[in-house]
Amino acid sequence: MDFRQEFIEFAVGRQVLRFGEFKTKAGRLSPYFFNAGLFNDGASMLRLSQFYVKSIQAGGLPFDMLFGPAYKGIPLVTGVAMAMAMAGRNLPFAYNRKEAKDHGEGGTLVGAPLQGKVLIVDDVISAGTSVRESVELIRAAGAQVAGVAIALDRMELGLGQLSAVQEVERDYGLPVLAVANLEHLMGYLQGHPELAAHREAVAAYRSQYGVTQH
């Protein structure tokens, strides 16, 4: 089985990816919901991180270090750095805190100094706010942004005719590597006849809100 399909199966098994009726931030009624915060024990975080590594390796992007935007990106970048080390590549990583610290080392950045080509690690891209803030932080430190690695690309229209991921790619000229996307989710549903009702709901939602090309 392709690792992307394996990831969808893993997310469904952990109830991180659920089917039903869920209201999105945009006020849409979505037939599925993905909450990476439910990868909340050591074993699932390790496996999630290993999926990120497979996706990053498949993307073939050159980069020198990892960065995780607060808050969800902090455990993700830590896990991915450890999984990368287990796979034979030991990389420095950093993350930011939301509030500036005025004692100790001070500032908003924690971890290795931002330098070289930096890969941002986050869970999803919805409004693209955390990506924008991360890009500004990284560039202000004199480093370059190599790209963004996320768990799931919903391939859903943002405010205009592009998805949130496509907007990031357009606005910053950055590649976005997703472990899986809506097409992989549809493929998973296709292979599970017992989920036919959900497959129809996801297909209908995609035809209404999905991007036509990716």
Catalytic residues: 101, 103
Specify the pairing of strand 17-23 against strand 29-34: antiparallel
- Residue 178 CB partners (closer than 8 Å, separation 6+): 55, 149, 150, 151, 152, 153, 165
- Burial of residue 100 (number of CB atoms within 10 Å: 0-12, 13-18, 19+): exposed
Structure tokens at 202: 């996801």
Q: Three-class SS of residue 142?
A: coil
34 forms beta bridges with 17
